[in-house]
């Protein structure tokens, strides 16, 4: 009764019955916009707290434990601190681009959220080229990063932005090839079709070893694309102070900080959708009894659980591996991940043509 799709349907029915079609449509746009902003705020608070606790567990310490029970309000206190801080704009900077850059990064993250299915029949826009849309729009964020580095009039910011640009553009190739692997198997660019193709099993299980290789490459490449350790060369504190956002403070810095965690959620949500079936429960072939038991778990719980698992994996990377040098980072992509991805895509194409997958 209280599934997300039912709530959305009830809301839409009430709006259409109460207002004329134009006002109802614009009301839906406003509701979706407010919910997306609220989701971003909740994700920012939750994921920062989660990262601190994961880091503390890995390093055998407590993490936040003062502000609220088990430190759950620590990120709220940090948010209040950032809101109260003055937002400075350097005298020698390009003021317009300097102030615009954080919003470009955040808007790109908001746009990418549109085709992601959070539950069965619950997504903002089920576009028929969803995979292509995600790949194209997610590339816009690098423009905001380059804009921030250049407009700051700071050598550390510019170096960090150039590193980030080279890093994101390079690793996008491996991410794209990993995504195309699932497109080849499912035969569609639409995310709802890709999820439906996993009705009898997730691709990570029924796609054999080539899909596992594609997933490993995907998770490594998206970690680099989001500028996360061990690929955080764009923000290397020991070399570049804070990289492309060195000159930012207050809420402008908070937007960059929030965008990083939102992007982590988005890439993990895409990974969960492509390789782990998104909201689709775990189904095994014709095991009717087992499949029916799995169907009792709400689809939104499946989606959130898979996404949080991949987020934990990326956080685990950060607190386990040391930072790479910039030459090592680019060598990893151009000499190893990209060639492996190309050969792996060829294998998956043959597998799809010959129907060798389960």
Q: pTM to 2 decimals?
A: 0.91
pLDDT of residue 243: 74
Per residue in 36-68, is it b (16+ CB within 10 Å) or e — as a string? Answer: beeebeebbbbbbbbbbbbebeeeeeebbeeee
pLDDT of residue 88: 81
> In the predicted model, what is the mean pLDDT of residues 282-302?
84
Q: Is the pLDDT of residue 345 over 50?
A: yes
pLDDT of residue 240: 67
pLDDT of residue 295: 83
pLDDT of residue 2: 57
pLDDT of residue 7: 83
Mean pLDDT of the chain: 88
pLDDT of residue 194: 93
**Residues in Cβ contact with 198 at an 8 Å cutoff, skipping those fewer than 6 apart:** 186, 206, 277, 278, 280, 283
What's the pLDDT tens digit per position in 73-110? 998 898 888 888 888 888 888 889 998 999 999 999 88
- Which residue has tokens 């909740």? 42
Measured between alpha carbons, how far is 164 from 198 in angstroms, rounded to an integer? 35
Task: Give the tokens for residue 341.
Answer: 């991805």
What's the pLDDT tens digit per position in 121-133? 888 888 989 899 9
Q: Is the pLDDT of residue 216 over 90?
A: yes
- Enter the DSSP assignment of 119: B
What pLDDT band is residue 318 in, cutting at 50, 70 and 90? confident
Q: Is the pLDDT of residue 120 over 90?
A: no
Q: What whole-number percentage of the chain has pLDDT above 70?
A: 97
For residues 345 and 177, the answer to whether their CB atoms sit within 8 Å is: yes
Q: What is the dihedral of CA 222, 226, 228, 230, to 10 degrees?
A: 50
Which of helix, strand or coil describes residue 122? strand
What pLDDT band is residue 246 in, cutting at 50, 70 and 90? confident
Q: Is the pLDDT of residue 259 over 60?
A: yes
Q: Is the pLDDT of residue 238 over 70?
A: no
Q: What whole-number percentage of the chain has pLDDT above 90?
A: 36
pLDDT of residue 1: 43
What's the pLDDT tens digit per position in 143-179? 888 898 889 888 888 888 888 888 888 899 999 999 9
For residues 231 and 223, the answer to whether their CB atoms sit within 8 Å is: yes
Measured between alpha carbons, how far is 167 from 120 in angstroms, rounded to an integer? 35
What's the pLDDT tens digit per position in 48-69? 999 999 999 998 898 888 888 9
Q: Quick one: CA dihedral 291, 292, 297, 303, positive or negative? A: positive
Which position has the higher pLDDT, 236 or 91? 91
């Amino acid at each position: 009764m209280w599934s997300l799709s039912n709530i959305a349907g009830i809301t839409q029915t009430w709006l259409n019955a109460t207002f004329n079609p134009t006002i109802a449509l614009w009301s839906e746009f406003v509701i979706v916009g407010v919910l997306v902003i609220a989701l971003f705020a909740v994700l920012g608070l939750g994921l920062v707290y989660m990262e601190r606790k994961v880091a503390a567990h890995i390093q055998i310490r407590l993490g936040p434990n003062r502000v609220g029970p088990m430190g759950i309000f620590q990120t709220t206190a940090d948010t209040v601190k950032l809101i109260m801080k003055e937002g400075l704009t350097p005298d020698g900077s390009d003021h317009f681009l300097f102030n615009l850059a954080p919003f470009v990064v955040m808007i790109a993250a908001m746009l990418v959220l549109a085709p992601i299915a959070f539950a069965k029949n619950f997504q903002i826009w089920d576009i028929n080229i969803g995979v292509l849309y995600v790949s194209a729009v997610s590339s816009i964020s690098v423009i905001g990063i380059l804009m921030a580095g250049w407009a700051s009039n700071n050598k550390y910011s510019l170096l960090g932005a150039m590193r980030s640009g080279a890093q994101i553009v390079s690793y996008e190739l491996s991410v794209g090839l990993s995504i195309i692997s699932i497109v080849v198997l499912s035969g569609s660019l639409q995310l709802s079709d890709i999820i439906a193709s996993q009705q009898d099993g997730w691709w990570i299980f029924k796609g054999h070893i080539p899909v596992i290789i594609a997933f490993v490459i995907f998770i490594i490449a998206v970690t680099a694309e989001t500028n996360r350790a061990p690929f955080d060369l764009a923000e290397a504190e020991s070399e570049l102070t804070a990289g492309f956002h060195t000159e930012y403070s207050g809420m402008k810095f908070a937007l960059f900080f929030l965008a990083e965690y939102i992007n982590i959620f988005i890439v993990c949500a895409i990974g969960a959708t492509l390789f782990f079936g998104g909201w689709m429960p775990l189904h095994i072939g014709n095991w009717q009894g087992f499949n029916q038991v799995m169907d009792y778990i709400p689809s939104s719980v499946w989606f959130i659980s898979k996404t949080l698992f991949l987020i934990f994996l990326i956080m685990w990377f950060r607190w386990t591996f040391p930072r790479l040098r910039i030459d090592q980072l680019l060598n990893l992509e151009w000499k190893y991940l990209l060639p492996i991805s190309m050969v792996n895509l060829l294998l998956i194409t043959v597998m799809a043509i010959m129907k060798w997958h389960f």
